[in-house]
Amino acid sequence: MNFFEAQYQARRQSKRLVLLFVLAVLAIVAAIDLVVVAALLTNKEDAAAGLTLGESISQHANLLLVVSLGVAGVIGLASLFKIGSLRSGGAVVAQSLGGTLVSAETTNPHHRRLRNVVEEIAIASGVPVPEIYVLEQESGINAFAAGYTPSDAAVAVTRGALEKLKRDELQGVIAHEFSHILNGDMRLNIRLMGLLFGVLVIGLIGRKILEGMRHSRDSKGTVPIFLIALAVMIIGYVGVFFGRWIKAGVSRSREFLADASAVQFTRQTEGLAGALKKVGGLPEGSKIDNAEVEEVSHMLFGPGMNFSSMFSTHPPLLDRIHRLDKSFKPEQFTAIAKQWSQPVDVLAMDAELGLDAGLGLVAGTPVTKEPSPLPDARSDIPVQPRQVANQVGAPKQDDFATADTIQNRIPPLLLEAARAQRSADRVIYALLLDGDAAIRQRQLAMIVAHAGAESESETLLMRQAVDALHPMQRMPLAAIAFPALRRHPRPWLEAFVRLIEQLIHADGQQALFEFCLARLISVHVIEALDPARARVIGRRKIVQCEADIAFVFAVLAHHGHDSTVDAQRGFQAGMQLLYGQRVITLPDSSDWHARLVPALQTLDQLDASGKQLLIEALVATISHDGRIAVAEAELLRVACASLHCPLPPMLAR
């Protein structure tokens, strides 16, 4: 299953979940209405009148309508409240479980290794680096990803996972969590939390009424109320019973997909299988000792608590292991427990294998193996449109090797600055400084007015390091800075975005790289201010967006080719993939700075199949001769990011 199929399945399951929730609410409303009718039939007036069930319902129709609307309203408002409380993104979920943010200045080697792995997989996947949390109080092996979109995602890992998993096993677990980020599971998981909470509230209301009646002195007068409250509590918890059953069914299917995607990412099964075997072999397993664990159980890498098979949010552990290692036998759990129950230095084991990147006190410690070379910045890269489209949300082992090279060749000064909230903005400023001395001075004056006098010297120092970067390292460096930028309050971020626009237009024009960087900041930083509104997959069709598609293709064609004739050929190559042999006039794209973003926002509303075809056609447009320059590849990657379709750093050849 590729990225687009996974997104489509997530949307279908989300619709199915909403339908089941609506049916559950209707069933709860009907059940409570029947309880009210039964209570009315027992009162003296209705009993004396000898009313039948139908007559009683008819006579008290207004009361039943009020009860029905009240019950539905309580469930709906409670669900919206819960979902609304998570609008700030995945960090809220991580903090609710006691997660501690991994600091940019941390000297903890386990934390540094975790951050190195997360950043590497983010770069390989083409998504912004998420916030990273550690559940320090949890000795079990577990992890989760939470959020609405990749822009506001947070990844949390237990202390037990850090201390018990070797680097390849930790990489397998993190790759599993990234698949949830890429496959659209996070938004589905937050909806599950909200909908189940709404149903649970009915049971809680009934229980609270019963608890309040303990001190009542009028035992005769309160009997009907007692019976109604008891019935409401029972109905509410029966609803929770079925809600958990629905949640378990949805979650189990997504867990198998996440395991398969993790193997596809890392191109090896040993890491993920090793982590699962330790979950099964160690006494702590994947247990999470937190009162909130049931609520987030469907998000976790492994079951955070014991469930019956009906309510288990994860497939049987042996089934997951056997899909990765068919030769594994349950008796082997004993040997795993014997070896790993005692303290083991996994960092030393990594070092012996040359997998100790990121563990030194200086960021970016290189691995001992020879890194994969990056293409010459002036060269053209051969690409295949269909293969590039298949790369979306599906990094391969080569992408991890490229990401490792990109990450570990970024100077330590820039890495440390990008990770820190105090200095991440300086990294972005350094990327935008102009080569002309007069324009640069105007830009520095703007920066000082916004960030203070010390920002000038810091930005200039970082600019010296930026000048030595390979073009393929610039966008990933910005992505590493995004989590630190997002920690600033909204007013600061809004002022920051205005400053970025001023820096870009200080010379009266907008270069291609400047547009790309500004667009990435808008998509991955500003979007995180209200992530619930973002939509990864929409409902529009290709035929509804012809004008916007033509304009985007025209911009790409002009930037991807030196001559008007070649631009025309590239434009037609892309349009013909979508609209057949029909001749479409190449639009005027001279005002692309103002019109490109609105056009991309419209195309972001395409459905999954439409986006897949669009990306294939985008590649055909910018490389109708089968080749693409490094700078043009960055434009393509940013266009895909605007469509919420992340591309790995190295395009398929």
Instruction: Tally the residues of the chain.
Output: 653
Q: Dihedral sign for Cα 246, 248, 252, 255, please.
A: positive
Paired tokens of 163 = 């201390």
Do 169 and 99 share a structural domain? yes
Phi, psi dihedral angles at 361 (to 5 degrees) = -75, -10
Give residue for tokens 């009860």: 67
Q: Which of 249, 268, 293 is the last residue of a domain?
A: 249
Phi, psi dihedral angles at 145 (to 5 degrees) = -120, 135
Distance of CA 457 to the CA centre of its chain: 36
- Residues 70, 36 contacting (CB under 8 angstroms): no
pLDDT (average), residues 537-549: 87
User: Which pLDDT value is given to residue 268?
Assistant: 74
Strands (E), 538-644: 627-629
User: Which pLDDT value is given to residue 132?
Assistant: 94
pLDDT (average), residues 382-391: 77
Phi, psi dihedral angles at 306 (to 5 degrees) = -80, 125
Q: Does a structural domain hold residue 336?
A: yes
- For strand 131-135 and strand 100-101, is the pairing parallel, antiparallel, or unpaired? antiparallel
Do 153 and 282 share a structural domain? yes
Do 200 and 175 share a structural domain? no
User: Which pLDDT value is given to residue 367?
Assistant: 40
Q: Dihedral sign for Cα 425, 427, 431, 432, please.
A: positive
Do 198 and 81 share a structural domain? yes
Q: Which residues partner with 520 through β-bridges?
A: none
pLDDT (average), residues 555-569: 83
User: Which pLDDT value is given to residue 366?
Assistant: 38
pLDDT (average), residues 349-368: 54
- Residues 647, 388 contacting (CB under 8 angstroms): yes
What is the CB neighbour count within 10 angstroms for residue 367? 17
User: Regarding predicted confidence, which is higher, 52 or 442?
Assistant: 442
pLDDT (average), residues 288-310: 77
What is the CB neighbour count within 10 angstroms for residue 231? 18
Q: Which residues partner with 154 through β-bridges?
A: 131, 146
User: Regarding predicted confidence, which is higher, 145 or 267?
Assistant: 145
Distance of CA 572 to the CA centre of its chain: 35
**Interhelix angle 592-603/546-560, nearest 10 degrees:** 130
- For strand 143-146 and strand 154-158, is the pairing parallel, antiparallel, or unpaired? antiparallel
Do 51 and 12 share a structural domain? yes
User: Regarding predicted confidence, which is higher, 103 or 361?
Assistant: 103
- Classify residue 266 by burial, with Cβ atoms within 10 Å: 0-12, 13-18, 19+: buried
Half-sphere exposure of 144 (CA within 13 A, CB side): 32
pLDDT (average), residues 565-593: 86
Distance CA 620, CA 627 (A): 10
Which range is most confident: 277-291, 292-306, 414-428?
414-428
What is the CB neighbour count within 10 angstroms for residue 5? 14
Per mean pLDDT, which range of 118-127, 200-209, 378-387, 554-563 is the poorest? Answer: 378-387
Q: Does a structural domain hold residue 586?
A: no
Distance CA 217, CA 144 (A): 50
Do 271 and 226 share a structural domain? no
Paired tokens of 8 = 């489509």
Residue 277 pLDDT greater than 90, yes or no: yes
Q: How confident is the model at residue 439 (pLDDT cuts 50, 70, 90)?
A: very high
Q: Which of 232, 249, 266 is the last residue of a domain?
A: 249
pLDDT (average), residues 600-626: 85
Do 333 and 313 share a structural domain? yes
pLDDT (average), residues 11-18: 70
- Classify residue 184 by burial, with Cβ atoms within 10 Å: 0-12, 13-18, 19+: buried
pLDDT (average), residues 467-489: 89
Q: Does a structural domain hold residue 498?
A: no
Helix (H, G, I), strand (E, B) or coil at 155: strand
Give residue for tokens 């630190």: 484
User: Which pLDDT value is given to residue 194?
Assistant: 79
The distance in angstroms from the start CA to the end CA of the chain is 21
User: Which pLDDT value is given to residue 340?
Assistant: 87
- Residues 171, 268 contacting (CB under 8 angstroms): no
Q: Does a structural domain hold residue 118?
A: yes
* CB burial string 500-512: b at 16+ within 10 A, e below: bebbbebbeeeee
Q: Does a structural domain hold residue 417?
A: no
Can you give the CATH number for the domain in which 309 is found?
3.30.2010.10
Paired tokens of 433 = 């400084």
**How many helices (DSSP H) and strands (DSSP E) are in the chain?**
29, 6
pTM: 0.79
For 206-218, the DSSP string reads HHHHHHHGGG-S-
**Interhelix angle 512-521/424-432, nearest 10 degrees:** 160
Amino acid letter, residue 434: D
Which range of residues forms the domain containing residue 103? 91-179+256-340
User: What phi-psi label fits residue 643: left (phi over 0), alpha (psi between -120 and 50 degrees) or beta?
Assistant: alpha
Do 115 and 7 share a structural domain? no
Do 47 and 75 share a structural domain? yes
Do 265 and 170 share a structural domain? yes
Q: Which residues partner with 628 through β-bridges?
A: 381
Q: Dihedral sign for Cα 169, 170, 171, 174, please.
A: positive
Percent of the chain clearing pLDDT 90 (strictly above): 23
Do 322 and 229 share a structural domain? no
Q: Does a structural domain hold residue 601?
A: no
Do 270 and 303 share a structural domain? yes
DSSP at 484: H
User: Which pLDDT value is given to residue 490?
Assistant: 87
Q: Does a structural domain hold residue 639?
A: no
Per mean pLDDT, which range of 215-229, 406-420, 636-650 is the poorest? Answer: 215-229
| Structural domain count of the chain | 2
Which residues are designated catalytic?
177
Residue 369 pLDDT greater than 50, yes or no: no
Distance CA 402, CA 193 (A): 37
User: Which pLDDT value is given to residue 363?
Assistant: 34
Mean residue pLDDT across the chain: 82
Distances 342 to 142, 163, 348 between C-alpha atoms, Å: 18, 11, 15
Distance CA 350, CA 167 (A): 6
Residues whose CB falls within 8 Å of the CB of residue 356, separated by 6 or more in sequence, listed in order: 113, 167, 347, 350, 365, 367, 368
User: Which pLDDT value is given to residue 169?
Assistant: 93
pLDDT digits (tens, 9 = 90+) for 35-69: 877 777 666 565 555 666 677 677 778 888 888 88
Q: Does a structural domain hold residue 502?
A: no
Paired tokens of 123 = 């770069």
Q: Which of 315, 340, 365 is the last residue of a domain?
A: 340
